[in-house]
Structure 1
């Protein structure tokens, strides 16, 4: 049995009995390549399921994570029953005590229904694929449109709040405890000088309606059906909380539309894959266009630029601060990431009129 270093065999021996199985009648193997939680596929005599230990460093209130997921899944299951949600909700499985989490050695564990004959994708290759991705996340958002977002716990406070992220950057730069400003002074100055864009984001945030948002809309957070290659489920609901749809759309743009990975160093060769961006807009609005207000639609143009800008600021802050948050492989890794994402922001800003046209193409 393959095991991760973070989870000992003896721990699993204590966890599995909470779900009517043991290491004697089950096989356990690591599942996926997520960097946050420890995730395993359990195959037992009676059933297969996903077992996950929640990372309490990233999620200090794991009970809120589990409860949010339960509220969302129950709502989606109801929508599915009514024929109003075509994807498969990721149902959490109750343990022997009829709870959706198990507390073992002060760690929170949960079991999630395993959907067979599915696969994940790490990167978008074609416009058709991009349209599928955006439509799937839009279906998720639309199905939750009548769920009161305020009932969800805020998992990570100010997660996508630009003002907060800028404040963190300024604090790190003022302290400069690792003497790294010498390597990034121009990039820092650029980020702090984007006054007009920063103001436009703040004005939008003051007026946009709160919705249930996923907040991590990468393609690898979708399951695809092996038989027809269509999206079948939105997964990884850990960061679901009240938010704005411009964040979800912007994260898709950020992770799908550059020709380089987010730590690619040859940023002079970076370009925006406009065919992918157009397909994302088409797919997203094919499901949401008649269900969002005009300001939300306008916000997607800003969101496409906002998420690269914000994650660039976060990478830069972590670099100045000594690489305490993001895992790095070499000394300048976070700085390279920051330069990459700010470059993407600049490229997207330069084509803002095109992005506007892509967003409004369905309305013509």
Structure 2
């Protein structure tokens, strides 16, 4: 799971001295196609420790070795079971042929099994390790740089949802119970607030009032699920910009990675999180609150790309709740940041005093921008929906 600020504490990393030999031994326990030529740390993920493994062969093959964070995933076996179930389903769909991808490359991360017992993981010295295929000739981005890129991010999420739309959600474990269920975050906030010191700073007072004014809104999607308007489907759970891989040459979306959070849920949480990530040009770490805004033009591109791939399985109720989804997820993340600030920064990693408070203010400012443009955003959704109806 590649996360940004929204990340719990890491497990202790391996020291430099024991890295090469022990890591190579762990990687060699998987069914690799050839001898290991190179092994190096990959990226700067905040949850799992990741390493790039290069194997001999013609051509050379690369894999990603990861140690799952058991602080986050208490039952990593279920995470792997979900990944296997989704991978098998997607592979079957791709083998049948997918019209959306007739002229496109699309890859799904492949899980490599242990050569010892055939399980999709290896346990060593208390660590839980997995090996997955590397998406070659691709790259990811932390911020959307163009309208075309925004459309590709949306299309990539739409393709993923399309490919798993007929996978029964009951066959997937809920590996992160309560994740993206906003009323539960509100309950946790209330519990933390009850024992937190009285707010002193004006920014804290603003956040308190902001949450209170939107308390009833927090259940908008869960209430729709409980009433039968929305239904559980398989979701990615963390479809931010940098989890959509872009083909290096064409710039087209070619994979969706970091599948730790795949679980049954509402696709609106995925859509809302994708839009929150894509349509805030300044990102979630900016200090320029006045400049934070939800970019409607980028929203148009993301949704256009998404609907081009996913509209076939969307219901009228799904469309009706798209605006609520984009408004809710930015509010939810702001609520989580503010809660952690009140709790003493026990969940999200921080690097300065007031860091989580600043993050909360950014997300609440983004929420305000979405709310201020509600009419325009609802009109955009209606327009895109009507355009698709005409095409059909």
TM range (shorter): over 0.9
Query: Is residue 105 of structure 1 aligned with residue 125 of structure 2?
Result: yes
* 1:128 alignment partner in structure 2: 148
In 1, the alpha carbon distance for the partners of 2:72 and 2:195 equals 24
* 2:52 alignment partner in structure 1: 41
1:157-192, CA deviations, whole angstroms, 9 ceiling, x for partnerless residues? 11111110001111111111xx36323133113202
Give the alignment partner of residue 182 of structure 1, picking from 196, 200, 205. 200
Q: TM-score of the superposition, structure 2-length normalised?
A: 0.87
1:117-175, CA deviations, whole angstroms, 9 ceiling, x for partnerless residues? 22112211111111111011111111111101121111111111111000111111111
Q: TM-score of the superposition, structure 1-length normalised?
A: 0.93
In 2, the alpha carbon distance for the partners of 1:305 and 1:337 equals 16
1:290-316, CA deviations, whole angstroms, 9 ceiling, x for partnerless residues? 311111111111001011000000000
Deviates more, 1:247-256 or 1:69-78: 247-256
* 2:378 alignment partner in structure 1: 356
Give the alignment partner of residue 160 of structure 1, picking from 180, 186, 189. 180
Residue aligned with 2:353, SS: coil
Give the alignment partner of residue 90 of structure 1, picking from 109, 125, 131. 109
Deviates more, 1:330-339 or 1:44-53: 44-53
In 2, the alpha carbon distance for the partners of 1:202 and 1:88 equals 32
* 2:65 alignment partner in structure 1: 51
In 2, the alpha carbon distance for the partners of 1:35 and 1:42 equals 19
Residue aligned with 1:181, SS: coil
- 1:180–1:320 contact (8 Å) kept in structure 2: no
- 2:172–2:264 contact (8 Å) kept in structure 1: yes
RMSD: 2.1
Deviates more, 1:6-15 or 1:285-294: 6-15
Relative to 1, partners in 2 of residues 1:120 and 1:202: Cα closer, same or farther, differing over 3 Å?
Answer: closer
> Displaced runs of 4+ in structure 1, greater than 4 A?
none
* 1:144 alignment partner in structure 2: 164
Query: Is residue 6 of structure 1 aligned with residue 6 of structure 2?
Result: no
- 2:30–2:114 contact (8 Å) kept in structure 1: yes
- 1:282–1:359 contact (8 Å) kept in structure 2: no
* 1:256 alignment partner in structure 2: 278
Gaps of 5+ in 1: none
In 1, the alpha carbon distance for the partners of 2:48 and 2:370 equals 32
* 2:6 alignment partner in structure 1: none
Residue aligned with 1:232, SS: strand
Gaps of 5+ in 2: 1-10, 387-392
Give the alignment partner of residue 86 of structure 2, picking from 68, 72, 85. 72
* 1:171 alignment partner in structure 2: 191
Deviation for aligned residue 1:271: 2.0
Deviation for aligned residue 1:25: 4.4
Give the alignment partner of residue 315 of structure 2, picking from 271, 280, 293. 293
In 2, the alpha carbon distance for the partners of 1:223 and 1:195 equals 36
